[in-house]
A and B are shown apart, each in its own frame.
Chain A
């Protein structure tokens, strides 16, 4: 067996190949993206793989593939499951014939997300089985099991890794790649696939009837297991189980939950053999609720009585503190240590030469006192520049803008949205704003790629996930088709030009769209595009600080004068901003 040091997501991708996956779709989202990013670059592929325009689209595509009897995987981040929730809920009713695994990667602590929702709750809600790995090797090993459970019970299976699984690494034992050779075949069966009331009532009953057998099988498969070692017990799931195992004293029983739904009878048998139970799990008290239901008079420590936190991610420190508090550890092996205080923060920042910084600067210059709804992407970092007033979910900048515009708020409303986000769920909002007569400006920040998640192509890029040429969507034509009459495309490196167009838009009523188009500076560098760097003419510089306030990481200040570092990528915006002509272009490089 080959062993490799892999990222969790790479191990998951490899496991899908070992399981002979036939169809893969998804929408990028941290921490899930590297699964498809790994699958799409394999030299020999025996499966279809695509980046879909959003999670709903991805899930419906994959579901249909599974209806044709082939193995399908659909990947997304936890909040993507909200977008895909509509087909997900009813896919539990229709079921599948081929194995169907929906990977929804949770992000406790919201490292790179807008909330800390728990995909296990969706599984519970939809009555779908859910697999919850505790480490990278287990995440790998669970994938073929997930496909088998899906096929055995004819039901989609949710696979729920978290950030500390997806983005952790380990030495992973791998199996051999499998080419399934399966070809999809759709067998018409309206009673299964046409969910009119008369059919769906029957399907709902069938879904409920599957549950007891699923619960038992998850125990038989060893996904849920225990070891009795004493009078008290810890029940743990996900990465929390790994943290517990690292410091678990002997003499304490241990139950590891790796899959849901949990067999209550089996659980009750374990709980009743103990005098006290501690439940360790990340986010929602999914396990704890069931433990409490079966515990009778056995005391249970968990989130509900203040032993463990509801919010944030678990860590060795949090788990140790919880175990100590509940009396499962005599002392805390990881006492809190205060970091060095008052160091300047180093938050993520828009790259030197990022088109978004130029666009934000121009927006702020023209619309000084406006409301700036924004969206999900690199450009959310525009918050640091004071040009992001709202962000709630994918595609919501345009809808929030029209809501504010219709509310009676007298100030101008200027919203920003990236190209991938616009195609994800922004178009409907634009159509709605035009249809209902909103008065607002939409700036589409078009870098022709999905950048924050790692440069995945989208329908705007002109390239598929696997690098094949494909027609590129015309954002201008889409906007015009939605009924927008003012559609202008500008280069955000040309501040003067962009300011002029924004001023024009400001004078007009209705919905105005400005497409600020320039390649992502990272993609440009990878494509070998080189621009001359800029430098400060120390004799001309007056140290006024205009360029530094622009917030470009390449511009520093030393001895009261500006300085441009090697990070400069040559966008040339600072040259346009300098009031004394103190920034000049260097020779070719």
Chain B
């Protein structure tokens, strides 16, 4: 168990969590390190809450036990809170300041959580909160928000930034390499300040 670095990426089906986890996996390959992961497919994908586990230097099982994630990357505020028990004490949380209210809130008339309320609840963690949508748009495409998120988390990930960036270049569509490079750097600059 010791020596493994556990990253949990969470979000909503369709937000690009799988590409983000593939980039981390590819970066591990670039550095010649073992990596294990697990993700959500099938029924759970349709707009549901999704999770990707990535275990850098992992040699055995693909799942991170609750309380053992070194880093939690969340593409949505509510999902960050939902999975916060996975974070180990002192673990880092990188969260997109973006809230998609689940349809259940409207159809079942549940109390709608607010952006401010969730952000306050997350304050007890070592938190980096960013507007990845806006930063991605500034980099040239809203679709690059997953790369912005990785950039913002980069300083907490035990992989060289050059390996991460090389993995980004290998895995994103060719036409978008420049945009995604910008997105990664923008995220990284922001990550250093929070």
Interface flags for A329-351 (1: CB within 8 Å of B; 0: not) read 00001111111100111111111
Tell me how far the C-beta of B100 lies from the nearest C-beta in chain A, rounded to whole angstroms.
8
Tell me if A551 and B103 are in contact (CB < 8 A): yes
Whole-angstrom CA separation of A58 from B84 in the bound complex: 44
Closest A residue to B106 by beta carbon equals: A548
Task: Please determine whether B38 and A348 come into contact, CB atoms closer than 8 angstroms.
Answer: no
Whether a CB of chain A sits under 8 angstroms from the CB of B39 is yes
Are A245 and B60 in contact, with the CB atoms below 8 A?
Answer: yes
Residue of B nearest to A315 (CB): B63
**Given A343-B78, A452-B43, A553 and B103 touching (CB < 8 A)?**
yes
Asked if residues A349 and B48 are in contact (CB atoms below 8 Å), the reply is yes
Contact yes or no, A167 B61, CB < 8 A: no
CB proximity of B173 to chain A, nearest CB, Å: 15
Alpha-carbon distance between A556 and B104 when the two chains are bound, in angstroms? 10
Q: Which residue of B lies closest to A378 (CB)?
A: B46
B65 touches A315 (CB 8 A): yes
Contacts of B61 in A (CB 8 A): 135, 164, 239, 242-243, 246, 316
Q: Are A348 and B43 in touch, CB under 8 angstroms?
A: yes
A557–B103 alpha-carbon span in the complex (Å)? 10
The minimal Cβ–Cβ distance linking B115 to chain A, given in whole angstroms, is 13
* Cβ-based interface call for A505 (8 A): no
Contacts from B to A (Cβ < 8 Å): 1, 12-13, 21-22, 25-26, 28-29, 33-49, 59-63, 65-68, 78-79, 81-85, 101-107, 110-113, 121
A395 to chain B, nearest CB (A): 18
Interface residues contributed by chain A, number (CB under 8 Å): 58
Asked if A242 contacts B34 (CB within 8 A), the reply is: no
Q: 7 additional contacts, CB 8 Å, given A167-B39, A168-B36, A168-B62?
A: A31-B41, A167-B42, A245-B60, A246-B1, A334-B68, A337-B67, A346-B104
Closest to B66 in A: A337
Contact A339 B85, beta carbon cutoff 8 Å: yes
Subset of 18 A-B contacts with CB under 8 Å? A4-B29, A112-B43, A164-B38, A168-B62, A246-B1, A246-B59, A334-B66, A335-B67, A346-B49, A348-B13, A348-B45, A351-B46, A351-B47, A381-B46, A384-B107, A551-B103, A555-B106, A556-B106
A351 to B43: give the CA distance in the assembly, Å: 12
Instruction: Mark out the residues of chain A between 271 and 293 whose CB falls within 8 Å of any chain B CB in the assembled complex.
Output: none
Could you say which residues of chain A place their CB within 8 Å of the CB of B21?
Answer: 169
A164-B62, A338-B85, A347-B104 known; A112 vs B44 contact (CB < 8 Å): yes
Which of B25, B42, B82, B102 is packed against the most chain A CB atoms within 10 Å? B42
- Of chain A, the residue at the smallest CB distance from B45 is A348
**Chain B residues closer than 8 Å to A170, beta-carbon distance:** 34-37, 62
Q: State the CA gap A351–B110 with chains docked (Å).
A: 21
A169 touches B66 (CB 8 A): no
- Residue of B with least CB distance to A165: B62
Q: What is the CA–CA distance of A350 and B79 in the complex, to the nearest angstrom?
A: 19
Kindly state the separation between the CA atoms of A242 and B61 in the bound complex, as whole angstroms. 5
Question: Given contacts A334-B68, A340-B85, A344-B102, are A169 and B46 in contact (CB under 8 A)?
Answer: no
**B107 and A453: CB pair below 8 A?**
no
Chain A hits for B79, CB < 8 A: 346
Contact: A30 with B81, CB < 8 Å? no
**Cβ-defined contact, A168 with B37, below 8 A:** yes
Interchain CB contact under 8 A, B60 and A246: yes
Question: For residue B76, which residue of chain A has the nearest CB?
Answer: A346
List B contacts of A169 (CB < 8 A). Answer: 21, 25, 35-39, 62
Top 4 A-B residue pairs of the complex, sorted by shortest distance between their CB atoms: A30-B42, A5-B25, A112-B42, A168-B62
- B101 to A556, Cβ gap below 8 A? yes
Which chain A residues lie closer than 8 Å to B62 at the CB level? 135-136, 164, 168-170
Question: What is the CB-to-nearest-CB distance from B187 to chain A, in angstroms, rounded to a whole number?
Answer: 21
A247 within 8 A of B: yes
Pick the contact of B28: A136, A171, A334 (CB < 8 A): A171
- Any chain B CB within 8 A of the CB of A304? no
One digit per residue, 1 when the CB lies within 8 angstroms of any chain B CB and 0 when it does not, for chain A 348-366 equals 1111000000000000000
Contacts of A171 in B (CB 8 A): 25, 28-29, 33-35
Please report which residues of chain A, range 375-426, place their CB below 8 angstroms from some CB of chain B when the two chains form the complex. 378, 381, 384
Q: In the complex, are the beta carbons of B41 and A30 less than 8 A apart?
A: yes
B110 and A344 contacting across the interface, CB-CB below 8 Å? yes
Pair A348/B47 contact, Cβ less than 8 Å: yes
Known A246-B1, A345-B102, A346-B48: A5·B38 in contact at CB below 8 Å: no
Query: A residues within 8 A CB of B65?
Result: 315-317, 320, 333-334
Residue among B46, B78, B85, B110 making CB contact with A337, cutoff 8 Å: B85
Task: Tell me the minimal C-beta distance from B56 to chain A in angstroms.
Answer: 10
- A residues near B25, Cβ cutoff 8 Å: 5, 169, 171
What residues of chain A lie closer than 8 Å to B85, measured between beta carbons? Answer: 337-340
In the complex the two chains form, what is the Cα distance from A346 to B48 in whole Å?
5
A548 to chain B: which residues have CB within 8 Å? Answer: 106-107
**A168-B38, A339-B85, A348-B45 given as contacts; is B60 within 8 A of A317 (CB)?**
no
Query: A368 on the interface (CB 8 Å rule)?
Result: no
A5 touches B26 (CB 8 A): yes
Q: Out of A112, A243, A452, name the residue touching B60 (CB < 8 Å).
A: A243
Distance A191 CA – B52 CA, assembled complex (angstroms): 52
